[in-house]
Amino acid sequence: MTSRRKFIQQTTAGAAALTIPFNVPAKTFRPMTDPGALVLSTWNFGLKANEEAWKVLKADGRALDAVCAGVKIPEADPKVTSVGYGGLPDRDGRVTLDSCVMDEFGNAGSVCAIEHIMHPSSVARLVMEKTPHVILVGEGALQFAIDQGFKKENLLTPESEQAWKNWLKTGDYKPINWENNHDTIGMIAIDSKGNLSGCCTTSGLAYKMHGRVGDSPIIGAGLFVDNEVGAATATGNGEYVIKVAGTAMIVELMRQGKSPVEACHEVVMRVAKKFPDKVKDIQTAFIAINKHGEYGGYALRKGFQYAHYNTEGFGLSDSEFFAE
């Protein structure tokens, strides 16, 4: 039997041997055919976000820079009431935001339930780049953001405050009601060097319990990137995305040879099979890109759209879905 000491020795030797592949530019893994740059994001507000991301990709920039620039558009838009500034608050009237990023090297950063910071995605990126950690939550995430020079702001717009006050009249706690409620932006991109990255950012479920965190800042649930295979991101009721390890599963299915749409379909069907009683009340939707630049999405329910931008132009597609 391998002793612990021997195992550590073997692991250390293995790690030394692995130094070279880890440092090889990801271009090494590029497929034979040039996929060209592409950015993909959830919902129709992805159109404007993609436009911003495309500026970076068109200039041969890095996919990570593209997605980080793109998602800042809905984060700063007070009319988008499910992301960043103007996001609908929790049931205590507090706007709490979730976000994560993942790059082509497998690095990841995330903030959960952060308050008062308009661009949680930018904080998540700094968690990835400037700390030895992956996730910072709540007060700790806010403190880190302030230390990094972010401005503390009131993110509750008068419109969102009014909507919350209207909700308070009944205070009906129905976290399964997704309509007009869940519009996370998940954005994934492949750059002209063939590298993949992604970002996911949201204010989460409207009128949620204070402290509730969905899938969006959870690596492997709301977002997953493997530069050898592809990337996937999610939107919808985060609890169900988490329960099927949604995006990590999609990337693994693509690794086994499924196309992006087939992989998204398979994972949506797992939600449908495991939680048949919930299908009528929830939405769960995924988009994915593979290393060859093929892309697609699939949703549990009708109505999901995703935006795309590549050298052929931009567009918005109606996703295929499981149920009306």
The yes or no reply on residue 220 touching ligand GLY (CB under 6 A) is no
Q: Residues touching ligand GLY: how many (CB under 6 A)?
A: 12
| Beta carbon of residue 246, minimum distance to ligand GLY (angstroms, whole number) | 10
The yes or no reply on residue 120 touching ligand GLY (CB under 6 A) is no
Cα separation of 269 and 280, whole Å? 14
Catalytic residue, chosen from 42, 81, 96, 184, is 184
| Beta carbon of residue 61, minimum distance to ligand GLY (angstroms, whole number) | 27
| 56 vs 101, beta carbon nearer ligand GLY | 101
184 is catalytic: yes
The yes or no reply on residue 236 touching ligand GLY (CB under 6 A) is yes
Tell which residue, 300, 306, 293, 305, has the closest CA to residue 324: 300
Among 35, 89, 198, 214, which residue interacts with ligand GLY (rule: CB under 6 A)? Answer: 214
Segment contacting ligand GLY by CB under 6 A, of 6-14, 17-25, 230-238, 304-312: 230-238
Cα separation of 35 and 24, whole Å? 20
The yes or no reply on residue 216 touching ligand GLY (CB under 6 A) is yes
Question: What contacts 268, CB < 8 A, 6 or more positions away?
Answer: 284, 285, 286, 298, 299, 300, 322
Cα separation of 312 and 27, whole Å? 23
The yes or no reply on residue 238 touching ligand GLY (CB under 6 A) is yes
The yes or no reply on residue 87 touching ligand GLY (CB under 6 A) is no
The yes or no reply on residue 237 touching ligand GLY (CB under 6 A) is yes
Tell which residue, 124, 96, 120, has the closest CA to residue 109: 124
Distance, CA of 34 to chain centre: 25
Among 62, 182, 291, 308, which residue interacts with ligand GLY (rule: CB under 6 A)? Answer: 182
The yes or no reply on residue 235 touching ligand GLY (CB under 6 A) is yes
| Beta carbon of residue 98, minimum distance to ligand GLY (angstroms, whole number) | 6
The yes or no reply on residue 175 touching ligand GLY (CB under 6 A) is no
**Residue 117 zone, left/alpha/beta (φ > 0; ψ -120 to 50; rest):** beta
The yes or no reply on residue 204 touching ligand GLY (CB under 6 A) is yes
| 122 vs 201, beta carbon nearer ligand GLY | 201
| 206 vs 254, beta carbon nearer ligand GLY | 206
Tell which residue, 176, 316, 127, 306, has the closest CA to residue 232: 306
| Beta carbon of residue 249, minimum distance to ligand GLY (angstroms, whole number) | 16
Taking only Cα atoms into account, the Rg of the chain, rounded to an integer number of angstroms, comes to 19
Q: Which residues are catalytic?
A: 184
Which residues sit at the interface with ligand GLY, rule CB under 6 A? 182, 184, 202, 204-205, 214-216, 235-238
